[in-house]
C-alpha cells in the first residue's frame, strides 16, 4: 500500500524511490534531478540523513565551503 502523499519526504527518515510523490518532494527539497537522487541513493543508501549529507558535501565542494 502506498504511503500517504500528504506526508512529504521531509517527514520520513528513509527515501522511497518507488513512491513518485516522495521522489518529487525530495528532488524539490534537495534541488536535484531524479537521476541525481537515484544515483546518490544507490551510492549511500536510502537514509534521508545520508542523502542530505552527500548533497551538502557535494555543494560545499563545488562552492569551496565546508557545507556546515
DSSP 11: G
CA angle centred on 52, ends 46 and 57, rounded to 5°? 125
* C-alpha to C-alpha distances, 68 to 3, 11, 58, 60, nearest whole angstrom: 32, 22, 12, 8
Supply the pTM of this predicted model.
Answer: 0.74
17-45 pLDDT, tens per residue? Answer: 999 999 999 999 999 999 999 999 999 99
7-17 pLDDT, tens per residue? Answer: 554 557 999 99
- Kindly give the residue spans of alpha helices, DSSP state H, lying in the chain: 20-30, 34-44, 48-63
Amino acid at each position: 500500500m502506498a504511503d500517504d502523499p500528504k506526508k512529504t519526504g521531509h517527514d520520513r527518515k528513509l527515501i522511497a524511490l518507488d513512491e513518485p510523490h516522495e521522489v518529487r518532494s525530495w528532488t524539490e527539497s534537495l534541488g536535484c534531478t531524479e537521476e541525481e537522487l537515484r544515483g546518490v541513493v544507490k551510492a549511500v543508501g536510502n537514509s534521508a540523513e545520508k542523502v542530505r549529507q552527500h548533497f551538502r558535501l557535494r555543494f560545499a565542494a563545488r562552492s569551496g565551503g565546508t557545507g556546515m
